[in-house]
Structures are given as C-alpha cells and as structure tokens.
Amino acid sequence: MAQDKKFVEDITPMDVDFAQWYTDIVKKAELVEYTSVKGCLVIRPYAYAIWENIQKILDKRFKELGHENVCMPMFIPESLLNKEKDHVEGFAPEVAWVTHGGNEPLEERLCVRPTSETLFCEHYANIVHSYRDLPKLYNQWVSVVRWEKTTRPFLRTREFLWQEGHTIHATAEEAIKETEQMLNVYADFCEQALAMPVIKGKKTESDKFAGAVSTYAIEALMHDGKALQAGTSHYFGDGFAKAFGINYTDKENKRVFPHQTSWGVTTRLIGAVIMTHGDDSGLALPPAIAPVQVVIVPVAQHKEGVLEKANELYTRLSKLYRVKLDSSDNSPGWKFAEYEMKGVPLRIEIGPRDIENGVCVAVTRHNREKTIVALDELESKVGELLTAVHDGLYAKALANREKHTYRCKTMDEIKERLEKDGDGFVMAMWCGEEECEDKVKEVTGVGSRCIPFEQENISDVCVCCGKKAKHSVCWGKAY
C-alpha cells in the first residue's frame, strides 16, 4: 500500500450532531463542493450520477404515460410573471432579477426562473386553439433559482436541478386525474427505487402552491425525526388559463378555458436518501440509484491468479449490474471503509483461498452481513442480495417512521410526546380552520405537512379548539 494513503476519516456521529453528520457525509463522500456564491454548489460526479439514475427511472416512467420533454427559456419577463397575482406574490421573496444585458440596462427586468408556469402558459396560449390540440403532456429537466436565505446542500440551495411537468387538459376531471396519477408515480418511485416510505396527502389551503386550486404532496420522515417534502403535484383549474388568455374551441364550437397541472421533484431527493438511509460510516444507497451497485475488492491481489479472477468476475457481473473493480494499491481495509462511505450496496471480496474453494464473499452495505457465494451462482445471487439491500433499507426506514409517529388528542400531549420521544410525525385531528392550524404550530412547534389520503379517526374533535374535527392531519417539523 502507498505510504501516503489513509483510512477514511471519521464522520461526526449522527446522534451527536445530525447537521454536522450530514455535512460530513456530503463532503467526505465527494457529493458536492462549495463555490464562491453562497447556496450554489458544484454537484460532483458521484452525486450527479445518483441524479442521472433518478432522472433515468422517472423519465422512462413519464414517457410511458405519454409525456414529452421540452425546454423552456431560463428568463421570464417581469410583465409575464405578474399576470397571475397569487403566483407572483408567492415567489416574489425568492426571485433573482437580471437588470442589465452587458453594460446596457434592460427595458424590462428579467426573472431567473424559480418555476416555469408562466412560460408554459405563454406557450400554450400560442399553440392550443382546438379541442384536438389537447391534452399537452410536457415535462422539462432544468435548473431553477430561488434566493434562499438559509441554505444546506441538496435540501435548500439557491440553484438546484429538478424536473417540472406541466400539462393542459380539456376538462377538470382529466386534469385532476393527471395530478393524482403523478403523485402516485412519485410515491411509487420513492418506495420502489429510493426504499423510502412516504405519506401521500393534500396540502392545507394555507400551504398549497401559489396559484393552485389544490396541492398534493408526499412526505417522508428523516432519521432525525424531521419531515421532508419529497414531491408535489398541483391542480391549477382554469385560473392560469384565464390569466394568460388560453382558450380553445370545444366540440360544440364554443370557446372555453382548459385546465392545467404542474408537478415536480428535485435534487433534494439526494438529501432525502442521505438522511433516510445513511449511518455513521457514510452513505447507504438503494441499488436502483447507486452509481456503483457492486464493488469487487481483490484480497492479496499480489498473489498469482487473484487479479485475473477478479477481472473475470467483473466481466461477468458488468453485463447485468453497475460494477467497479478496485485494483489500486490501497489496502483491503481502506477499500472496505471507502466503499462503505460511498454507500455501495454490495461488496464482493475474492482472495486465494476463495478461488481454491470456488467461492467469493459478498457483504451487504445496509447490515454488513457476509454471505459465501459459489462463483458459478454469482450473477443470480448478486441479484438476490441487491433486492435484500433494498428491502432491508425500506424496512429500517419504515420502522423508524413507525417508531416516531405519535397519535395525539391534545396539544399538551403533542408537546409531551415530542419532548419525551423526539421529533417525528404527529397524527392529530383538525377542524379545518387556519387559525387553529397556526395555533398548533405556535404552541407545539409542528406545522401541518399534509392531510393524508388514508384518514384515521384519532378523536372526534380538533386538537386545538375542541370543535368537531374534519380531518386527521400529519404534523411535523420540516426541512
């Protein structure tokens, strides 16, 4: 081993300082690098590869449902942004403005897109004329800018990557169906690809997207008991269409307004994966999005035949999986720690004695269990073990959510549970009045996350005012 090589540095234990643990992970796993502009990060190759895998899975699903990718401009004229009052007011505090082109002041300020509803509306007004033009099922993969005051890698940055779907339909029924369908796509993706359980629900009126009729969301619980909004889907009704003059001739030859949707997820999903599955040794990546699913580490590689056999295994496995062979001069112990830090789901160890016995050692990242695998069964066994990694990560995340989900009937009970057991999801009843929603957050520190689709009758009365309850609500502290 080269003398200047060291074992992977320690990470701050998450139970000591969760925020520092998170920062250690994103730095030491080489996910990001800070830049001279606060809140704007270099997404390094390993993290970008995670995003590419997220993008690949979702993009395939979108296209299977009939969506097409487009690309809208980065800049929005101020007059265009101002066409929808609620929308512009909702984003005004976060907007970055371009005021000069070269040395010349612009006649009109340009907003660097915080989201693209207004651009899509302008486009739809130009291309939608008849019922035959509908629906339009569009999506784009771009970056957006929101001038956040407090930033944290992946969770809140001033520039971030995302996809934003924008669709337009002839009827409210079609648009609502699309809104719900895309929320289900996100929920399935989080559970099947990210091994992250989520709660599906509707946002309260005070928490919905600016300009939307209704907003649906999926909420995940992080290891520290805080909630993270993992994806949203919005139904706009015909409000944007009216504001932007989008209308068409229907089958009865009448001029009518169409109905729109918008839905999106962002690179904060990478942060969600870190905080859901990571541990004090580093990342623990679900196989579906891991840049490297299997790493092969030769043991005593200086001995005859070891590297040759390792290369043979690499050739076989790389036909089916994303595989890396590390034949560097670092020690096996250093490599073990390095790939645990990187969250590689499965490690294959092969040495002289293994070769003699026709086996290798497979180590799963999520629980570090070792399995002796016959070399002639390697391909199928690796597939089984990768499935076991996904299932193990999901089960652990679900157990953490269940452990930190509290059903409470009063605000005093909410405070007592949070003080005793730590942050988590609080399930409690609500009368539907915004005043009570605000009071719960003021008194207990937890805000409404969503009104779950799966309703529970925890009690008959509001947790705040004692009047008849309308909904059970998921409350929590959020990133």
pLDDT tens for 23-76 read 999 999 999 999 999 999 999 999 999 999 999 999 999 999 999 999 999 999
102 in any annotated domain: yes
CA distance 74 to 79: 15
CA distance 80 to 118: 7
The dihedral sign for the CA sequence 407, 420, 281, 478 = positive
Dig out the tokens for 289 from the structure: 């999005």
Please give the residue range of the domain that contains residue 419. Answer: 405-476
Which CATH number covers residue 328?
A: 3.40.50.800
Residues 44 and 138 in one domain: yes
211 in any annotated domain: yes
Is 31 exposed, middle or buried (CB count within 10 Å of its CB: 0-12, 13-18, 19+)? buried
287 in any annotated domain: no
Which CATH number covers residue 418?
A: 3.30.110.30
pLDDT at 91: 80
CA distance 38 to 159: 10
Residues 373 and 436 in one domain: no
> Phi and psi for 395 in degrees, rounded to 5?
-60, -40
* Nearest alpha carbon to residue 469 among 423, 402, 419, 408: 408
For residues 168 and 259, the answer to whether their CB atoms sit within 8 Å is yes
* Nearest alpha carbon to residue 20 among 175, 174, 200, 153: 153
For residues 113 and 75, the answer to whether their CB atoms sit within 8 Å is yes
| Radius of gyration over every alpha carbon of the chain, rounded to an integer in angstroms | 25
Name the domain count of the chain. Answer: 3
For residues 393 and 195, the answer to whether their CB atoms sit within 8 Å is yes
Is 130 exposed, middle or buried (CB count within 10 Å of its CB: 0-12, 13-18, 19+)? exposed
Strand 294-298 and strand 323-325: the pairing is: parallel
The residues facing 374 across adjacent strands are 359
pLDDT at 3: 38
Dig out the tokens for 310 from the structure: 């390792």
Residues 198 and 168 in one domain: yes
Residues 68 and 216 in one domain: yes
Residues 450 and 328 in one domain: no
For residues 286 and 259, the answer to whether their CB atoms sit within 8 Å is no
Residues 54 and 187 in one domain: yes
431 in any annotated domain: yes
Residues 170 and 271 in one domain: yes
* Nearest alpha carbon to residue 391 among 369, 409, 407, 412: 369
Residues 251 and 376 in one domain: no
Residues 111 and 255 in one domain: yes
The residues facing 245 across adjacent strands are none
What is the 3-state secondary structure of the chain? CCCCCCCCCCCCCCCCCHHHHHHHHHHHCCCEEECCCCCCEEECHHHHHHHHHHHHHHHHHHHHCCCEECCCCCEEEHHHHCCCHHHHHHHHHHCEEEEEECCEEEEEEEEECCCCHHHHHHHHHHHCCEHHHCCEEEEEEEEEECCCCCCECCCECCEEEEEEEEEEECCHHHHHHHHHHHHHHHHHHHHHCCCCCCEEEECCHHHCCCCCCEEEEEEEECCCCCEEEEEEEEEEECHHHHHHCCCEECCCCCEECCEEEEEEEECHHHHHHHHHHCECCECCCCCCCCCCCEEEEECCCCCCCHHHHHHHHHHHHCCCCCEEECCCCCCHHHHHHHHHHCCCCEEEEECHHHHHHCEEEEEECCCCCEEEEEHHHHHHHHHHHHHHHHHHHHHHHHHHHHHCEEECCCHHHHHHHHHHHCCCEEEEEECCCHHHHHHHHHHHCCEEEEEECCCCCCCCECCCCCCECCEEEEEECEC
pLDDT tens for 355-370 read 999 999 999 999 999 9
pLDDT at 10: 79
Cis peptide preceding 13, ω within 30 of 0: no
CA distance 226 to 207: 17
pLDDT at 9: 63
pLDDT at 87: 78
Q: Which of 277, 304, 337 is the last residue of a domain?
A: 277
For residues 400 and 221, the answer to whether their CB atoms sit within 8 Å is yes
Compute CA 106 distance to the chain's CA centroid, rounded to the nearest angstrom. Answer: 37
398 in any annotated domain: no
Residues 266 and 317 in one domain: no
CA distance 459 to 447: 19
CA distance 261 to 315: 46
For residues 159 and 40, the answer to whether their CB atoms sit within 8 Å is yes
Strand 359-364 and strand 136-145: the pairing is: unpaired
Residues 259 and 130 in one domain: yes
Which CATH number covers residue 188?
A: 3.30.930.10
Residues 369 and 232 in one domain: no
182 in any annotated domain: yes
56 in any annotated domain: yes
Q: Which of 388, 420, 438 is the last residue of a domain?
A: 388
Residue for token pair 């009368």:
431
- Stretches in the chain below the pLDDT threshold 50: 1-7
Q: Which of 251, 277, 303 is the last residue of a domain?
A: 277
